Structure 1
């Protein structure tokens, strides 16, 4: 992260904490009522103005673009080769976004989300701005909730970036028309776009458990890289375990188990069972690791 970016984040934190960023003198703190929303607005503003965040989203947008350009320049696409939906792109460009999600979910999405989630608390601690944030009348629990909300917002932005970029580049390079579903039915372009948004929501929810894990590791250290690396390592380990039949009993409990389970959203009628199961699974991880993060953060010494 650049020095300018750090200064911007520190200034926003100081303002939120009720300090004047240049003099360090106390100013009238914001009223306790509504301070959580002000803190959230500040967090989202700082997060999505960071060059790193913009670079991460740009890298995710590049995935469907590279896929579409490669297929456009290729002489043929063999059915059954490559990621799911890849062989249908030449017939309908709307499948670029879905195919890109299949490519991004195992590695690229966890990588970007691990970076953001691992930096939530550890990044503030490493820059010396955490103590100023804790001087705001919001309290530690509310600050932790705001940090998780910021990470969750990035999950939504990341999933939408892949789907929207894929849809746009697909419409630009390939024909677009009624979309065939996995059940054999065909839906209009408008309905297909709504289903793709539902898939983006499914993927965003799928990453919430990992965000909570990253938040917990971020409370354990003041070195953001360590929290990021550990979070990403957990995602890799979860996927490896999910691929081992010897531990099949463990698969339904792994936070990555349903990551690619959005196929039911491309059937007629839509089956929401997998969507609900995935939401419950991620909610469990959010509750458990959120509680661990809160227990750690409430006793964390950040003023010494």
Structure 2
């Protein structure tokens, strides 16, 4: 029987997140597999995958902050805001006169903090049931609505001048739902030379790091985090007694126990180290927001 757990996978370029999930299903011999946040085909890096009952945890992981490493190429605008698209505009030589280190820093500052951005048309957002990038690559015009996001870090760590281009290697810490392609596009537009992504890698989701991930060809027999260990990485862990665990599993409240939580949610862990579920405050009481399936005896 497959044990529930969280698997960290380092997705390579050229496959979809759905492909990675399909390969995980085959490697673990179960259909009950899901992921906490799509990476589109060009992107590489951390994909957080839930197996069996641990898929119930994914809803608490998907909204976590992320870290990306990326390369922004200034000087070219493409049809997809990345290197997979057709170059539609090349910057005129005279446009580079205004592209100074100070102007780049100013452009980045505008794109840092709480901002509103229009996602790239080749994002993984679904439009009428289909991924936006599938629609764009099928020749359709896709216009997505702006959304509010938070970019808490946008640092340039290296730069390389090319023939009519300037590549910026950047690290971005951001809220869930931020599109790095949009940052590249908008930075290039603000500088008057255009911009797109040539590389994108997700290195962190919440407290999960790509350094702990397995490659796509190493899924068979790969170690997973237990549901309890994974939950404790994203929420406060609250030890409960065997009696309290039984009550929570049966839908009963823990009367007058809300003060035991410092935040709104916590991971309830029984004396055997198993995750009972996610609990929340309800007035002065604690109650289950999500219960894990009980292990078969």
- TM-score when normalising by structure 1: 0.22
- TM-score when normalising by structure 2: 0.22
Q: Which has the higher helix share?
A: 1
Max Rg structure: 2
